Amino acid sequence: MIEMVEAIKTNEVEVRKNSLTFDDQVIKKITGIAANEVDGILALEGGFISGLTDKFKAKGDITKGINVEVGEKQVAIDLVATVEYGKSIPAIFEETVVKIEAAIAKMTGLKVVEVNLNVSDVKTKREFESEIKAEVVEPSGRVN
């Protein structure tokens, strides 16, 4: 009789257990949007970010340059970025961490336990924008 009661309680717990999970792509997108708000980040490996017109932003994938490890309650994030010359990279990093942690916590309830930023390049805003414009315009003069 005692064994039956334990079995019923176990089944009740299993029935009441709920689950909320997030695809890696969701966490990457939240991270990319949050990083987009940081002044001084020009691009996340291949994705066009700050200082560009919406036309140029639409051409890039906001999740490029972002890798995540998502657990049940925690997430770790790796970013690869091009930053703007003349800006304080430690300040950019700190603001990036704060914005990502806040966005992830607010939207998912997950705790960001690690953010790693690899700065792959430094460019002036003018240099970066002229390179983007050169990539968007085909040799024939047409816009992609």
- Domains of the chain, start order: 24-52+61-137 (3.30.70.1350)
At 105, the amino acid letter reads A
Cα separation, 104 vs 117, whole angstroms: 17
Q: Which residue has the tokens 């430690």?
A: 90
Cα separation, 48 vs 4, whole angstroms: 61
- Per the structure block, which two tokens stand in for 95? 């603001």
Give the per-residue pLDDT at 15.
61
Q: Which long-range contacts (CB under 8 A, 24 or more apart) does 127-135 make?
A: 127/85, 128/42, 128/43, 128/51, 128/82, 128/84, 129/51, 129/52, 132/48, 132/52, 132/56, 133/56
Cα separation, 102 vs 42, whole angstroms: 21
On the question of pLDDT at 49 being above 80, the answer is no
Give the per-residue pLDDT at 11.
56
Length of the chain (residues):
144
What average pLDDT is seen over the chain? 82
Q: What is the pLDDT of residues 61-110, one digit of tens each?
A: 788 899 999 998 999 999 999 999 999 999 999 999 999 999 999 999 99
Cα separation, 57 vs 80, whole angstroms: 17
Give the per-residue pLDDT at 119.
96
Cα separation, 6 vs 116, whole angstroms: 46
Total-model pTM: 0.74
Cα separation, 82 vs 141, whole angstroms: 27
